[in-house]
Amino acid sequence: MSIETAILGGGCFWCLDSVYRRVNGLTSSICGYAGGEGLNPSYEQICTGKTGHAEVVKLSFDNEIIDYKTLLKIFFSIHDPTSLNRQGNDVGTQYRSIIFYQNPEQLQTAESFIQEIENSGIYKKAVVTAVQSPVPFYEAESYHQGYFNNNPGNGYCQITIPPKLIKVAEYLDH
């Protein structure tokens, strides 16, 4: 077993978390905050947009089962990487598209994959996903962890998460 870590932000962390929790090879998915000023921010603080933190997921994965590039393929399929500081109705820097690489190999893989996407013409607009060096990760409050599993009747979740789950399931089946 070769466990690695990835930290990704692409809008609401509930959406990312709900998808990655269903991916074979993931050993954990933790909702949290990264990339801002101040220690141990709260959800209320980051929602103001003043701390500069992004909502992210910290993924632990077995690189012998699923590789980092596959995690990135999933990531880019479940959010809009061309939308600056927003995903759908979620607006603000806390919802930005961002990859916090954990080592030089992840940096190279992320930059190469973004270039591959840009060259493919899949998106009509430029990819705005930031790729940044490792930063402190702060675990979100307990009620955010596994939110979709614990709150399947939440209206926001009912609308936004099932289409992402279907898309990833179809992708992983191929």
Cα-to-chain-centroid distance, residue 156: 17
pLDDT at 170 over 90: no
Handedness of CA 90, 142, 133, 59 (dihedral sign): negative
pLDDT at 67 over 90: yes
- Which residue type is seen at 93? T
Exactly one of 12, 15, 31, 157 is catalytic; name it.
12
Query: What's this model's pTM, rounded to 2 decimal places?
Result: 0.94
pLDDT, greater one: 165 or 44: 44
Nearest partner of 48 among 56, 36, 32, judged by Cα: 36
**What is the C-alpha separation between 104 and 21, in angstroms, rounded?**
26
pLDDT, greater one: 50 or 158: 50
What pairing do the DSSP bridges indicate for beta strands 26-34 and 130-132?
unpaired
**Average pLDDT rounded to a whole number, residues 49-55:** 96
Concerning whether 12 is annotated as a catalytic residue, the answer is yes
Residues 74-107 have pLDDT tens digits of 999 999 999 999 988 889 999 999 999 999 999 9
- At residue 73 the predicted structure's pLDDT band, cuts being 50, 70 and 90, is very high
**What is the C-alpha separation between 90 and 41, in angstroms, rounded?**
19
Each domain of the chain, given as residue ranges in start order, spans 3-173
**What is the C-alpha separation between 102 and 106, in angstroms, rounded?**
6
Class of the 3-173 domain?
A: alpha beta
> Using H for helix, E for strand and C for coil, what is the string for 59-78?
EEEECCCCCHHHHHHHHHHC
Structure tokens at 101: 């690489």
Nearest partner of 77 among 129, 148, 152, judged by Cα: 129
